[in-house]
Structure 1
Amino acid sequence: MLSLNGLTYRNVKENIAREPVYFFTMILIEMLMLAFNSMLFSKDVQEICQEGFIMDVLIGFVTIFIIAVMVWLIYYMMRQSFKYRSKEISLYMLFGLKQKEIYRNYAKETMLMATLAFVIGAAAGEMLKHFVMAIFYRMFRLDYVIEMNFYYQAIILTALIYFFCYIAALAKIRKKFLRLTINELSQLERTNEKNKASKANRTRKWLLSGNRLFIWRSVESEIKSIKKIIFFVSFLLMISIVGSSVAMMYTDYENNQIDAEYPYDVMVYHENPDLNFNKEKEILDSSSGIKQSHEYNIYQNQSSYMNNWLYCNLYFFGDRLKDKNGEFDESKLEKEDDYDVYYTYDTYMKLSDYNALLKMLGKEQISLKKDEYVLQIKQRLEPELSDTILNRVITCGNEKLHCKNISTVDFEQNGHNGADYVFVIPDEAAQNMTPYYSVLTAMTRKPVTEDITDRFDDDSGNFRYGSNHSILYTSPVLAKKEVEISLKSTVTAVLFPFAYVSLIFLCVAISLLAAHLMSTTKTNKKRYDLLMKMGMTKKEIDIIIHRQLAINYLIPLVISLIPGWIISIKMSTQFILDTGLHTSYVRYILLSLLWILTVYIIYFIMTDVFFRRNIHYGRER
C-alpha cells in the first residue's frame, strides 16, 4: 500500500505526464526570468549601458504583468487538475480524509512539481544568460567572453517571483476547494460524462458526413467550451506580436541607423565662420589620431525660401505653422519652440567641400556646371518634395542655378551639414554668399569618447538639428562612438524589457491553448477508438488529429493577428517617419511573426506528439 509521500510522488509523476507542455512552459518561463534578471545584477551591463537604471525599472514594471499572467496560468491549470481528478478527490473524502489534509497534500504535490521545474529552469537559465549577454555585447559592438559568474541575487529574486506565483494561485484556489462537497465533485464528474455522452450520440452523424465534418464538429464543441480562453490567448498573442515588433524596430535602428545618421567619427560646429579648429585637431591627433580631416564653411544668402517651404509642407509640421492662406507664419513658430528646427537662412555648401566629405566616406565625387546645383537631403524627406522644389531656380549673386539632381547619401545633416538639407553649389557661386558657420569633420584612428570631446569648445549658438524628433542625438560637438553608446543605452533599455515580456506572454498563451487541448484527449480517445473500429488505420487517424490540432492552433493566431498587424503597422509607420529608417513598413511585423511562428510550431509539434500518445496509449498493448 502506498504511503502518503509515495502517493504524492506518484501524483507528481502523473501530472507531468498528463501536462508535459505546461511543465515545459514553467521551465521555459523560469529560464527566461533568470536570464533577464541576471542583467539587473551584472556590473558589466551597468557599466556599458548608461541607461541601466531605466532598463531595471522597465524590467521591474513588466515583471508585474508577468506575475499576474503567471498566477492566472497556474490557477487555471489547478482548476483543470481538480476537474480531471474530481473522482479521485471524492474517494479521498469518502475514505475519511479531511479537505484540509487533501488540500495540503495537493499543495505539496504542486510545490514539488514547481521546485523540479525551477531546478531544471535554473540550470538552463544559466546557459541562456550567456546567450542574452552575448546579444547585449553585440549591440554595443563589443566582444563577449564567457565567464562563469554566478549572480545569487538573480537566483533569489527569480525564486521569490516564481514561487510567489504558485503560492498566490494556491491561496486563490484554496477557498474554492474547501467549499466543495462530495456531491458537488460528483456533479462535476457527471456533468463531464453527460457532455461526453451527448457528443457520442452525434458521432454517427459526424461519421456519415466525412472526416472534415468530424474535425469541424470537434473543433466547434471545443470553441464553445473555451470562448474566454481563446480570447485571452488571442490577447496575449497580440501583445507578443506588438511587443516583438517594437523590439525589432529598435534592433533595426541600432544595427543600421547609427552608421547612416552619423557617418563621420567627429563633427564640430561653431557659430563663428572665421574660426579655425587648431585646438580641436591637436586634441584629436594626440588622443585618437587623425586619418582625415576637413574644415569648411556653410553659407547663406539671406534667403529662407527652403526653410519656409519645409515648415509648410512636411508631414511632421502639419498645418501648425501656416496662416489662413497656407503660407508660413513666423509668429506661430515663435510660439512653438519644439518646432524651431531650421537655421534662420537656407544653407549652402561649396562643391569642393562636398567632394572632400564624399571622399572621406569613400563615395564617388560629383561635378557641376556653373549653372547647376545639387540638393543634398535626408532620404526620408525626398518623397515629400514637390515639383516646386525640384524645378526651383536659385539665385547666387548674378548666377541663376537649376537643380541637377537630388542626392540622399548619408551625410550627417542633423545641424552640421545643414539641418535636413544643404544646397551644393559651384565654388564660384559661393563667392557671392556670406559664410554662415564653420564645421570641422574628421575620421580618426581610434574611437573618440566623451572625455575627449569635453575638452572641445562647445558653442551651441544658432545650432539647429532639423526635423528628426525621435531617438536622435544632437550636439554641436558630435563624436560617433559617444553617440553610439548613448543611443544604444537608451534603445537597449527599452528593447530587452519588450523582448522579455513578449517571450513570457507568448509562452503562457500557447501553454494555455495546449493545456486545454491535452485535457480533451480522454473525450477524443473514445471518438478515435470508434473510428478505428470502423476500419480507419492509425495513420489515417493521425492525419485527422494533425488537422484538428492545426485548426485549434490557427483560430487564436488569426484572431490576434488582425489587431496585432494593425497596431504594429501603425507604430512602424510612425517609427520609420520619425527616425528615417530605410526599410519597409511591414518589415518589423514580418520579422516578429517569423520567430513567433517558430515558437508556435514548436509548441504545436509538442502538443501533437503528446496528444497522439494519449489517444493511442494502451491500444497497441
Structure 2
Amino acid sequence: MLKKLILRNAKRQLGDYVLYCITIACAVACMYAYNALLFSDKVRQLPELEVLPYMIIAVTLLIILVMGWLVSYMTGYMLKRRSRELSLYMVSGLSARTIAGLFLYENLIIAGTAFIAGLPAGILLSWLVESAVLKMFGMTFTLGFSVSFKTAGLTLLYFAAMYLSALHKSKKRIYKIRLYDLLYYDRQTESSHPCRKPFFTGIFLLSLLLFTAGYALIVIRPIGRGFDLLTGLVFLVIGLFAFFFSVPSFLSERLEKRKGWTYRKNRLTVFRGFTSKIRSMSVVLGTLSVLFTLSITFLGIASAAGHFADQSIGLNVFDILILHEGEMTDFSSYEERISERFLVKSAHVYGIYTGRSREFYTVWENEVEERKKVRMTPRAEFQYDNYMKQSDYLYLRHMLGYEEPELDKNSCYVHCIPQLADEFEDYMEKAGKLEINGQSLMMGKIFSESFSQNDTYGNGLDYILVIPDETAEGMELLYSLYAVITEVPLNGMELRQLTEGERLVLLDRGVGKSVETENGVAVTSLIYTDKDYLSGKWVQKDSLSQIYVILICLVYLSVILEIAGTAILATQALSDGDKKKRQNRILGQLGMNEKMINRLNNRQLLLLFLLPVPPALIISGWLIYDGARRIVFDAPGMPVFSGEFWIWQAMGTALGFFVLVYGIYYTAVRIRGWE
C-alpha cells in the first residue's frame, strides 16, 4: 500500500513540478559535460590546461552549494504545498517517521528520474564542450559514441551529496513538526516582511549607500590584492537584499494611494495579485536578483575575456617565432627540427634593430599613458625606436599575403597598430624628415595590418620603423627572429616538444626581472643569457590559457546560476494555481471573458518576472564594462581594441543568453498556467 502511494505521489509531483525536474536534469547534464573534461585523454594531453581539472572541481563544489540550496528550497516548498495532505496521513495514524519516509522516497524517485534524464543530455553536451575546448588550442575533435563511467560515477556522487543533504533537512523538519503546524503550514508566508512604512525609506537609502560603497571599492580598489573587489561585491549583494526589502513596500504604498489608477481598466486584479506576491518574496527576490547579477556578469566577463584573447592571438600573425637576443644567429638547426615535425608554408630570418632615437617612442608613450591613464613600467628592449630592413619587411608581407608596396630607398616607413596610425601620421607630417644612423630620410607611408606587434618581442611593441637596408648597416641588433607560417594549426603539446633537448625555451611574457638602463629601471622577460625563446601565435595562446580556463569555468557557473534562479521564480509563479483558478472562475461569473482573464494573468506574470531583473541588469552591465576595460588596460602596450564595441558585444552575448533562458521558462510558465 505504501509503495503504491509513494509511486502515485511521485508521479503527481513530477507533473506538478516539471520545470524543477527539468532544471535538475539540466544541472546533471552540465555537471557530466564539464566533469567529462577531467577524464578526457585529449584534454589531459594539453599541458596548458593542467589547472583546468582543479578549477572545474572548485566550481562544481560551488555549484553543489547553489543547487543544494535550490533542492532544499524546493523540497521545503513541496512540504509546504502538501502540508494538509501530510496532515491527513498523520490523522490516519501514520507516524511522523513513516510520513518522513514517504516524502523522502517520493523525492528520491523524482531525483532519480531527473538524473537518468540528464545523463543522455550530458553525454551530448560533453561532446560539444570537449570539441570547443580542443578547438581553442588547435586540436581536432573526433566524434564517437562513448560513455565515461568514471564521469557518470563522479556526477552521481556530486548529485547524491547535493540531494541527500537537502532531503535530510526536510526529514528532520517533518520529525519535529506538530499536527497543528502541519495543518496551517501552507498559510505561512515565505518570510515576515520587516520593512514597514516608517522604515522602507531608510532601508532604501541604505541600499543606495551600499551600492555606492561597492562601486567605489571596485573602481578605486584602495585596498589591493583583490580584497577591495571581494568587499565591493559583498556590499553590492547586501545592497540588493536591502533594495528588495524596501521597494515592494514602496510600490505597494504608492499604488494603494492612487485609487483612480488602481480601479481603472481592470487593474485591481493585477495589482492585488502582484502586491500580495511581492510582499512575501523580499528575500527570494533579493536572492534571485543576486543570482541573475552573478550569472550575467560571469558570462559577460567570460565573453569579454574570450574576445580579448582571440583578438590578441589574431594580431600575432606568425605561427612560430624564435628569438635570439643581441646578434644575428644561425637558425638552421631549428629550421630542420621544425621541418621534420610540421608542414612549413613559408619562413624567414631577419633582425630587429635599435638606435638612440626616441621620436616615435615619445608619441607612443604619450598615447599609451593617455589611453590607460597610468604610467607603464618600460620594457628594457623597447625604450628607443626599433627598426626593420625594407627587404625583410617586403618578404614578411609576401609571407602573410599582404599587398607588396613599392618602397623608396630614401624614405622611412612605419608599420603600427591601427590605434597609433593617426598620431604617427600627424607627427610625420610635422617632422617631414628623420635622421637615422647619420642619414636623412623622408617620411613615407604608414601601414597598419596585423604584424605581431601587439605584444612584446615581436616586430616591435605596437610599431616599427622600416628603413633602407644600407641605413640599418652598423646599427645595434636588438634581436634576430626566425618567423614560420605552418600549413596547419599547432597546439601547446607540439610546441613543448620543440624545446626538448634544445637551448630553446618558451617565452613567458608574464615573467620578468628588473634591470637598470640608461633611462632608469625597466623590466625584461629575456631572463636567460644562454637561451633562445620560442613564441608566436600558438605560444601566445598557450600563455593565455588561464584566460580560457577561467572562461570555461565562468560559462559553467553562469548557466547553473541562471537556471537555478529562473526555476525558483517559475515555481513561485505557478505556486498559486488553485487560487488563480478560483479567481478566474469568479471573474468569469462576474462577466469577464476568458480572453481578458488570460490577459490579466499574463500581465501579473510578466510583472513578477520583470521585478528582479532591472537591478541585476544595471549592476552586471557595469561590472562587465569595468572588468572588460581592466582586462585590456592591464596588458602591456596599447589596447588591442580601438573602440568599445567589443565590450557591448560581450554584454549582448550575456544578455542574449539570459533572455533566451528566461524566455524559455517564462513561456513554459505561461503554457502551464493555461492548462
On whether the aligned pair clears a TM of 0.5, the verdict is yes
The answer to whether the aligner puts 1:608 opposite 2:606 as a matched pair is: no
Would the alpha carbon gap of residues 65 and 449 (structure 1) be closer, same or farther in structure 2, given more than 3 Å must change?
A: closer
Whole-Å separation in 2 of the counterparts to 1:400 and 1:348: 15
The answer to whether the aligner puts 1:396 opposite 2:452 as a matched pair is: no
Whole-Å separation in 1 of the counterparts to 2:441 and 2:400: 27
Would the alpha carbon gap of residues 57 and 99 (structure 1) be closer, same or farther in structure 2, given more than 3 Å must change?
A: same
Displacement of 1:504 in angstroms is: 0.7
Displacement of 1:230 in angstroms is: 0.9
Contact kept? 2:381, 2:478, Cα under 8 Å: no
Q: Which one of 346, 350, 358 corresponds to residue 389 of structure 2?
A: 350
Contact kept? 1:274, 1:438, Cα under 8 Å: yes
| Secondary structure at the counterpart of residue 586 of structure 1 | helix
Matched letter for residue 490 of structure 1: Q
Contact kept? 1:394, 1:401, Cα under 8 Å: yes
Would the alpha carbon gap of residues 259 and 239 (structure 1) be closer, same or farther in structure 2, given more than 3 Å must change?
A: same
Would the alpha carbon gap of residues 227 and 380 (structure 1) be closer, same or farther in structure 2, given more than 3 Å must change?
A: farther
Whole-Å separation in 2 of the counterparts to 1:407 and 1:464: 29
Partner of 2:15: 17
Partner of 1:532: 588
Contact kept? 2:390, 2:467, Cα under 8 Å: yes
Matched letter for residue 573 of structure 2: L
Contact kept? 2:67, 2:162, Cα under 8 Å: yes
Partner of 1:266: 320
The answer to whether the aligner puts 1:416 opposite 2:458 as a matched pair is: yes
Partner of 1:451: 497
More divergent stretch after superposition (590-599 vs 492-501) = 492-501
The answer to whether the aligner puts 1:170 opposite 2:209 as a matched pair is: no
Displacement of 1:257 in angstroms is: 3.4
Contact kept? 2:348, 2:484, Cα under 8 Å: yes
Q: Which one of 296, 299, 320 corresponds to residue 244 of structure 1?
A: 299
Equivalent residues in 2 for 1:182-201, closer than 5 Å:
182-189=179-186
Partner of 2:599: 543
Whole-Å separation in 1 of the counterparts to 2:107 and 2:510: 62
Q: Which one of 41, 66, 69 corresponds to residue 66 of structure 2?
A: 69
1:429-469, CA deviations, whole angstroms, 9 ceiling, x for partnerless residues?
A: 435744443222233446573333556654999x9999xxx
Displacement of 1:535 in angstroms is: 2.8
| Secondary structure at the counterpart of residue 348 of structure 2 | strand
Q: Which runs of 5+ in 1 are unaligned?
A: 322-332, 334-338, 467-471, 614-621
Partner of 1:441: 483
| Secondary structure at the counterpart of residue 411 of structure 1 | coil
Partner of 1:160: 157
Partner of 2:577: 521
Q: Which one of 495, 509, 522 corresponds to residue 565 of structure 2?
A: 509
1:221-268, CA deviations, whole angstroms, 9 ceiling, x for partnerless residues?
A: 21111011111111111111111113223433454432322x123322
More divergent stretch after superposition (265-274 vs 98-107) = 265-274
| Secondary structure at the counterpart of residue 674 of structure 2 | helix
Displacement of 1:588 in angstroms is: 0.6
Partner of 1:596: 658
Displacement of 1:565 in angstroms is: 0.4
Contact kept? 1:572, 1:586, Cα under 8 Å: no
Contact kept? 1:342, 1:465, Cα under 8 Å: no
| Secondary structure at the counterpart of residue 143 of structure 1 | coil
Fraction of identical pairs, as percent: 26
TM-score (norm 2): 0.77
Partner of 1:425: 467
Whole-Å separation in 2 of the counterparts to 1:599 and 1:340: 47
Displacement of 1:513 in angstroms is: 0.3
| Secondary structure at the counterpart of residue 584 of structure 1 | helix
Displacement of 1:358 in angstroms is: 1.0
Whole-Å separation in 2 of the counterparts to 1:228 and 1:291: 62
More divergent stretch after superposition (278-287 vs 27-36) = 278-287
RMSD over aligned CA atoms reads: 3.4
| Secondary structure at the counterpart of residue 157 of structure 1 | helix
Whole-Å separation in 2 of the counterparts to 1:282 and 1:188: 79
Would the alpha carbon gap of residues 208 and 412 (structure 1) be closer, same or farther in structure 2, given more than 3 Å must change?
A: closer
Contact kept? 1:377, 1:408, Cα under 8 Å: yes
Q: Which one of 110, 113, 116 corresponds to residue 113 of structure 1?
A: 110
Equivalent residues in 2 for 1:202-241, closer than 5 Å:
208-241=263-296
Pairs aligned (count): 579
Whole-Å separation in 1 of the counterparts to 2:338 and 2:121: 47
Partner of 1:407: 447
| Secondary structure at the counterpart of residue 51 of structure 1 | helix
1:585-608, CA deviations, whole angstroms, 9 ceiling, x for partnerless residues?
A: 211111121122111111111111
Q: Which runs of 5+ in 2 are unaligned?
A: 193-251, 513-524
TM-score (norm 1): 0.84
